[in-house]
């Protein structure tokens, strides 16, 4: 069962590896453009800092600005002895990010997402899709189509209950990156992150508390391939709630990605973004298991500008059913 879930990732990696090794032994491609900046948009994971794929290479320009949009479908309706979890909705997110290079080794970045919870329009299509592919649909057909619900309780007390409509700020993030001296093929950096409690914790847009994280960013390049590996950890503080007693634990994080640099303009990527759940012993495997998201996509580069597209699929744990991501970014000097 586990192997079947990871079949898309295995196929994607093979599709990138085969064309890369058709180049001659001495061939060298353009500079890698990745990784894809995918984010976990599951509502409970908006309460904590989650890992975002990053390159260890600082921007060449003094400033870099990125605008990301994500659209996500979420459906989980489960109960345990302690927890009641009902999240049936579609989520739109727009994230503004910026990064300023400070000298040759340091950069300071920020990220501010705006999130909208909605009833959506995809339930009929997704029901047909799961039936056609004989995929599990997790009880989606038992609820009315395109009807909004988002409430989480513990021991009968509400953690949060979200409303639909409107675009609301979620918790923001600050990043400080230190790049180590570069080798010919290997690049690395240390990323320190801080989550700022900007979002409304009662409506499911934040935790009302600060989180901190540390990540080692690394990239190994060979011919037209680039391999990314970013291990780290996150220390989340317990969230503010409407009454429920919620306790968090330290999270271990690992991001792995493979990029095929087809040309200076085009890069294609397969990525796995994983982290252990901040929750434990809820009795609901979706919340207790590690989150594993597969992302497949590409980056189109021209000059200082980039555009990215990816499709993210939930393989395990607290992650959306799927997420479609589109991003644009540009760099400039003052």
Q: What is the pLDDT of residues 61-96, one digit of tens each?
A: 999 999 999 999 888 889 999 999 988 888 999 999
307 CB neighbour count, 10 Å cutoff: 14
Q: Could you give the CA distance from residue 218 to residue 189 in angstroms, rounded to a whole number?
A: 7
**Mean pLDDT for the stretch of residues 92-107:** 96
Q: Could you give the CA distance from residue 249 to residue 246 in angstroms, rounded to a whole number?
A: 10
Q: Which two tokens stand for residue 330?
A: 């540009």
pLDDT mean across residues, the chain: 87
Q: Could you give the CA distance from residue 285 to residue 81 in angstroms, rounded to a whole number?
A: 13
What pLDDT, on a 0 to 100 scale, did the predictor assign at position 117?
A: 92
% of the chain residues with pLDDT over 70: 84
Are the C-beta atoms of residues 55 and 34 closer than 8 Å to each other?
yes
Q: Which two tokens stand for residue 286?
A: 């979706």
Q: Could you give the CA distance from residue 268 to residue 182 in angstroms, rounded to a whole number?
A: 24
User: pTM for the whole thing?
Assistant: 0.88
State the pLDDT confidence band at 26, using cuts at 50, 70 and 90: very low
Domains of the chain: 2-22+41-332 (2.40.160.40)
Q: Is the dihedral of CA 110, 192, 293, 16 positive or negative?
A: positive
Residue of 164 and 65 predicted with greater confidence:
65
Q: Which two tokens stand for residue 133?
A: 């592919």
Judge whether residue 20 has pLDDT over 60.
no
Judge whether residue 215 has pLDDT over 60.
yes
């Amino acid at each position: 069962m586990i192997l079947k879930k990871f079949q898309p990732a295995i196929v994607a990696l093979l599709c990138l590896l085969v064309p890369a090794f058709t180049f001659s032994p001495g061939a060298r491609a353009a500079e890698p453009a990745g990784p894809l900046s995918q984010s976990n948009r599951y509502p409970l994971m908006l309460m904590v800092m989650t890992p975002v794929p990053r390159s260890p290479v600082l921007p060449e320009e003094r400033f870099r600005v990125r605008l990301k949009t994500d659209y996500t479908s979420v459906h989980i309706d489960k109960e345990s002895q302690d927890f009641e979890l009902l999240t049936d909705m579609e989520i739109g997110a727009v994230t503004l990010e910026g990064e300023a290079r400070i000298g040759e080794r340091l950069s300071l970045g920020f990220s501010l997402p705006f999130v909208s919870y909605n009833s959506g329009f995809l339930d009929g299509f997704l029901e047909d899709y799961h039936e056609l592919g004989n995929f599990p649909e997790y009880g989606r057909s038992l609820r009315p189509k395109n009807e909004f619900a988002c409430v989480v309780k513990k021991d009968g007390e509400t953690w949060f209950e979200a409303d639909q409509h409107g675009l609301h700020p979620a918790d923001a993030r600050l990043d400080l990156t230190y790049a180590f001296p570069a080798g010919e093929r290997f690049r690395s950096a240390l990323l320190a992150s801080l989550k700022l409690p900007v979002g409304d914790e009662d409506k499911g847009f934040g935790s009302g508390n600060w989180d901190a994280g540390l990540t080692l960013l690394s990239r190994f390049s060979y011919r037209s391939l680039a391999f990314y590996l970013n291990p780290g950890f996150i220390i989340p503080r317990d969230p503010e709630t409407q009454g429920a007693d919620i306790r968090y634990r330290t999270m271990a994080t690992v991001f792995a990605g493979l990029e095929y640099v087809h040309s200076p303009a085009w890069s294609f990527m397969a990525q796995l973004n994983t982290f252990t759940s901040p929750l434990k012993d809820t009795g609901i495997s979706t919340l207790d298991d590690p989150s594993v998201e597969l992302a497949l996509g590409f980056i189109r580069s021209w000059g200082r500008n980039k555009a990215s597209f990816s499709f993210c699929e939930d393989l395990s744990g607290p992650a959306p059913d799927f997420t479609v991501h589109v991003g644009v970014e540009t760099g400039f000097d003052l």
